[in-house]
Amino acid sequence: MSAAFDFFQATSVADMAAARQLFREYQDGLTVAACFQDFERELEQLPGPYAPPDGHLYLARERNAPALAGCVAIRPAQAGYCEMKRLYVRPPWRGRGLGRQLAALCLQEATAIGYRYMCLDTVGFLTEARALYSSMGFRETTAYDDNPSNRVISMEIALKIA
């Protein structure tokens, strides 16, 4: 059974606090440190690069439920590119298509903003995430940042320009 979800852009102080919590849960589930990305500073400065008009930070909840189910963000990267970051679905909502819906929302918004490409990085052991991205048209590419881990896989997709 597929659940209906509501998506909204994080804008308030409370939204940023909720996003910080979800980002921490996401990071805690990884075995790759994000300290090289200045993760703590990112949390302190939310929305930071995820602020409109060039970025977005989305939260999701199951319709008619108070608890947040997940999050995702996009931010500008190199010329013509944006980066999808922090796609995270809490365990009770996994397997319901929420990750795909969050990624699709990012692709739609990035296209509307005018980006030509979207990139992301993931780690090899996140097989479900890699399968999701591949099924949506992302392809592995060379690293686009200075990630020190050899377990990180970079991916990108060309966005459909209307």
CATH number for the domain harbouring residue 127: 3.40.630.30
CA angle 102, 86, 159 (to 5 degrees): 55
pLDDT at 51 over 80: yes
Question: Residue 75 belongs to what domain range?
Answer: 5-158
Say what the pLDDT of residue 144 is.
65
Domain count, the chain: 1
pLDDT at 148 over 60: no
pLDDT band at 29; cut points 50, 70, 90:
confident
Across residues 136-156, what is the average pLDDT? 80
For residue 128, count other CB atoms closer than 10 A to its CB. Answer: 11
Q: For the chain, what percent of residues have pLDDT higher than 90?
A: 73
pLDDT at 35 over 50: no
